[in-house]
Amino acid sequence: MTADDNRPLLVLGIETSCDETAAAVVARDGEARGRILSNVVRSQLAEHRPYGGVVPEIAARAHVECLDAIVAAALAEAGLALSDLSGIAATAGPGLNGGLVVGLVTGKTLALAAGKPFLAINHLEAHALTVGLTDGLEPPYLMLLVSGGHTQTLLVEGVGRYRRIGTTIDDAIGEAFDKTAKLLGLGYPGGPEVERAARSGDPERFPLPRPMVGRVEPHFSLAGLKTALRQRAEAAAPLTDRDVADLCAAFEAAVCDIIEDRVSRAMELAEDAFGPGRPRWLTVAGGVAANASIAAALARLAAARGFHLAVPPPALCTDNGAMIAWAGAERLARGLVDGLDFAARPRWPLDPAAPAAIGAGVKA
């Protein structure tokens, strides 16, 4: 079945690449408009919190324990049976291998049992296409992906056509927030804790570096910032609440400056993709997009550079099944189905032709 006959494509999406177990059903009509029929997410935050980070074995086990029930809930909420679906999509990478295998095996088994097409989805592609579902936005557009595992700027040229512009040569930005929180004795995940503490802090008391800012290569680097923060914190120890607030404010201000500069450079490098007089769009995804100061910095930058800004609602910026189902529907509409022998790909860059960033290649 294709979308041409105007009957909507109904796709189940399964996401298990990190610490969220998620399943959703999305409908895509013949005009490529999307509708979320259900979107069920179970976060494993509580399981990982005692360790201050995601533990792969705990994640895989938690996915195994609840994925069947999450899929059943997504179908029930959508009011559909497996036989009603047009296809079944599951995240195949990048991500933690154990979790990917759980989602893939489940998706393939359901596809085989129901005799439906199977779609192996790149998690980054799903983030990149989400604004098509939420805002009906069509490529080309520029995208900033900032989560615990990924930090990149990406030009979305079409479904299946992505140009990676910048990536991190060391830590992801969300990871840097989490490490900062840990260093300062705040909770996990660190992003919201650092943001809360920063609100009452003075961003100028502890000067911190802005690695890569002003460089022509469009990449990100957070390691030097993290080291400088640790040195400032050690020099000021024992830390009072005021010290922690000021350190958090300094860190957040540095990250905002880094993001503003690096996205600005990506805008310059993507310029050729936007024809004269065509609207220019910047979109954002990933948990870090929830940070109000970062969102404000992006809004300022977009306005200054003549870009429109599209930010999906927070629940669709962070990991979810609806984005996997939507990417599956977009691919299914183009006949891009996959075999049941598709293996998990813990590393799976969206743009394999992109040159590795110096000193990196670690972050897909």
Out of ligand KG4, Zn ion, none, what residue 73 binds, judged by CB under 5 to 8 A for its kind, is none
Site string for ligand KG4, 191-220 (x = CB under 6 A): xx--x-------------------------
Helix (H), strand (E), coil (C) string for 259-282: HHHHHHHHHHHCHHHCCCCCCCEE
**Is the bond preceding residue 207 a cis peptide, omega within 30 degrees?**
no
- As a whole number of angstroms, the distance between CA 120 and CA 336 comes to 10
Out of Zn ion, ligand KG4, none, what residue 203 binds, judged by CB under 5 to 8 A for its kind, is none
Structure tokens at 267: 């805008």
Q: What count of other Cβ atoms lies within 10 Å of the Cβ of residue 231? A: 12
Of the candidates 14, 18, 124, 165, which one interacts with ligand KG4 according to CB under 6 A? 18
Of 319 and 351, CB closest to ligand KG4:
319
319 touches ligand KG4 (CB under 6 A): yes
DSSP letter at 355 equals P
Gyration radius of the chain over CA positions: 21
Structure tokens at 312: 């999906």
Contact range with Zn ion by CB under 5 A, out of 62-70, 89-97, 319-327, 353-361: 319-327
3-class secondary-structure state, position 310: strand
243 touches Zn ion (CB under 5 A): no
Structure tokens at 1: 């079945």
Of 30 and 53, CB closest to ligand KG4:
53
19 touches Zn ion (CB under 5 A): no
Q: How far is the CB of 174 from Zn ion (least distance, A)?
A: 10
- Going across the sheet that includes 281-285, the strands are 161-167, 151-158, 141-146, 281-285, 308-310
- As a whole number of angstroms, the distance between CA 140 and CA 205 comes to 41
Contact range with ligand KG4 by CB under 6 A, out of 7-15, 73-81, 287-295, 345-353: 287-295
Let me know how long the chain is: 364
16 touches ligand KG4 (CB under 6 A): no
Q: Which residue(s) pair with 121 in the sheet?
A: 91
174 touches ligand KG4 (CB under 6 A): yes
Q: How far is CA 182 from CA 44, 48, 233, 322, in A?
A: 19, 14, 12, 31
Of the candidates 15, 175, 243, 319, which one interacts with Zn ion according to CB under 5 A? 319
3-class secondary-structure state, position 69: helix
Of 118 and 177, CB closest to ligand KG4:
177
Give the nearest residue (CB) to ligand KG4.
Answer: 191
Of the candidates 21, 134, 291, 320, which one interacts with ligand KG4 according to CB under 6 A? 291
Of the candidates 239, 290, 295, 354, which one interacts with ligand KG4 according to CB under 6 A? 290
Q: How far is the CB of 319 from ligand KG4 (least distance, A)?
A: 5
3-class secondary-structure state, position 89: strand
Residues that bind Zn ion (CB under 5 A): 147, 319
Residues that bind ligand KG4 (CB under 6 A): 18, 147-149, 174-175, 177-178, 189-192, 195, 286-288, 290-291, 318-319
